[in-house]
Amino acid sequence: MNAPAPRVMFFFDGFNLYHSLEAALRAEAVAPVKWLDLSALATAHLYTQGTAARLAGVHFFTAYAEHLALTKPERLARHRAYVRALTATGVRVHFGHFKPKNIWVESLQDYARIWQEKATDVHIVAQVFAHAARDEFDTAIIVSGDADYAPVVPVFQELFPGKRLRFGFPFDRKNKELARLVPASFTLSRESYAQNQFPEAVRLPSGKFVVCPHSWRVPPAAPTANPSPS
């Protein structure tokens, strides 16, 4: 009797992934990357867990920057459109929040307010352990290069010796400590981002469509040298 196909569940750290996408565009802006189909991307990397591996679920962790609603509404609108595309394709989205923090700016000799995303790593760890306890995967892959996940590894291995925890490092976000703790982890390439984009319009359950934001459809133009005066 054949062994059952190993079930693999992906947990995407949205902000770590966002910075990776920005790095991919800076490295070589040859194709759009931000309209990223996470289910397709996860499926494309199942081979890293064996030829028989099957996708057990995709989770995405993020937070809306509501504090930008007045100053940068288009940025918030793009984020909402992307989340709608994800949920329409079966991705489960989990929301954290932004919290203000006052920091001292030496050059201004005054405090300035910044907004920091909170709770993503805690939410991811909680979901990984919850799904493991319910025996809903054989392998969990956290897509992040954040070293804060390092203490999770030995605890997970102790509590769930029959399951595996891996890291999928986003492009340009590989973490040496996590790689040392989990040598079987892997890295996502910028080419894999370009190869796993949504179609321009994604059909919603209502029958309507959510369309890729215009600024995401083409990569930013590469800077050119100033022409010589004629």
Per CATH, is 9-202 categorized as 3.30.70.980? no
Please choose, from the candidates 26, 17, 87, 78, the residue with its C-alpha nearest in 3D space to the C-alpha of residue 211. 78
* Segments making up each domain of the chain, as ranges: 9-202
pLDDT of residue 123: 92
Please choose, from the candidates 218, 127, 164, the residue with its C-alpha nearest in 3D space to the C-alpha of residue 49. 164
Per-residue pLDDT of the chain (230 residues; tens, 9 = 90+): 577 899 999 999 999 999 999 999 988 766 789 999 999 999 999 999 999 999 999 999 998 765 554 465 688 899 999 999 999 999 999 987 555 555 555 665 665 555 466 678 889 999 999 999 999 999 999 999 999 999 999 999 999 999 999 999 999 999 999 999 999 999 999 999 999 999 999 999 999 999 999 999 865 555 444 544 43
**Alpha-carbon gap, residue 12 to 76, rounded angstroms:** 19
The pairing of strands 186-187 and 164-169 is parallel
| Phi-psi map region of 17: left, alpha, beta (phi>0 left; psi -120 to 50 alpha) | alpha
pLDDT of residue 69: 46
Alpha carbon distances (Å) from 17 to 41, 67, 102: 12, 21, 26
pLDDT of residue 219: 56
pLDDT of residue 94: 94
Backbone angles phi, psi at 163, to 5 degrees: -120, 165
